[in-house]
Each structure stands twice: as structure tokens, then as C-alpha cells.
Amino acid sequence: MKTTIKLFVVLTVFFLLVGTVYGLLTHGEAVGMGALLLSGGLAGMIAFYLVIVDRRSGQMPEDDPHGEIADGAGDLGTFAPWSWWPLVLGLSAAVAFTGLAVGFWIMVPAVVLATIGLVGWVFEFSRGQHAH
């Protein structure tokens, strides 16, 4: 985790520096400078999040220089291996992006489809044979 934090801090500084220099050299060209500065802000937010998570989690196995691969073994979370709901959410994202290109009215079915997909994915194990 420490290496990842350092990587995103370096990316933050790089994007902010390059965005500033780009803005000065192009006499304030807004699109490129804005994109670079926003990229720096995004990298900074990720670095900040990783710092907070690192403080809460303590020593991670990947940060131990004498650590073994087996130190990181175990459950990393749960997932639904045969779930169709991510496909529904991906389809709703595709419909939403189509709405950006074709017409804003297409966003309404995209939001409905995304809501159905999100609710289905969240409550997937709370019904039927998998209910707790």
C-alpha cells in the first residue's frame, strides 16, 4: 500500500506541475490545462483515500519486506460468481452514454435500468435459495 500511495502522490505532483506549465506555455488554453489539473486532483483524491485506508488497516502483508506470499492468503471479500446484475449495470451505462450522443431523453430508461440492476445486485443473496 505504501508504494501505491507514493505512486499517486508523485502522479498528483506531476499532473499539477505539468498542468501549470502547460497553461503558462499555451497562454491559458483552458481545455488541456483543465484536464491536466483535474487529473492531478483525481490522483490526489486517490492518494488521500489510500492514506486513510492505510492508517486504519495497519501493516499490510505487501508492505513487509520479509513477507511471504502466504501472508496475504485468505478471503479478500465476497462476490457473486454467476451474477447477471453487472451485465445489467453495464447495459444501463451503455444506454446512458448513448443518451449523451443521441438525446437526453434516453437517460430516463438508463436510470431506471441502472436502479433495477443496482437493487438486484445489492439484494442478490437476500432472496430465494441464498437468503440468510
Give the residue numbers spanning the domain of 110: 85-126
What does the alpha-carbon distance between residue 9 and residue 63 come to, in Å, rounded to a whole number? 17
The amino acid that residue 132 corresponds to is: H
pLDDT band at 130 (very low <50, low <70, confident <90, very high): low
Q: How many domains does the chain have?
A: 2
Give a yes or no: residue 47 inside a domain.
yes
What does the alpha-carbon distance between residue 60 and residue 34 come to, in Å, rounded to a whole number? 36
Within a 10 A sphere around the Cβ of 49, how many other Cβ atoms? 12
What does the alpha-carbon distance between residue 8 and residue 50 come to, in Å, rounded to a whole number? 9
Cα 75 off chain centre by: 21
Give the three-class secondary structure for 124. helix
Is pLDDT of 1 > 80?
no
pLDDT tens digits for range 72-114: 787 777 777 788 999 999 999 999 999 999 998 999 999 999 9
pTM above 0.85, yes or no: no
Closest of 9, 22, 115, 21 to residue 54, by C-alpha: 9
pLDDT of residue 85: 92
What does the alpha-carbon distance between residue 25 and residue 34 come to, in Å, rounded to a whole number? 14
Regarding whether 54 and 7 lie in a shared domain, the answer is: yes
Contacts of 98 (CB under 8 A, 6+ apart): 106, 110
Give a yes or no: residue 107 inside a domain.
yes
Give a yes or no: residue 13 inside a domain.
yes
pLDDT of residue 112: 96
The fraction of the chain above a pLDDT of 90, given in percent, is 58
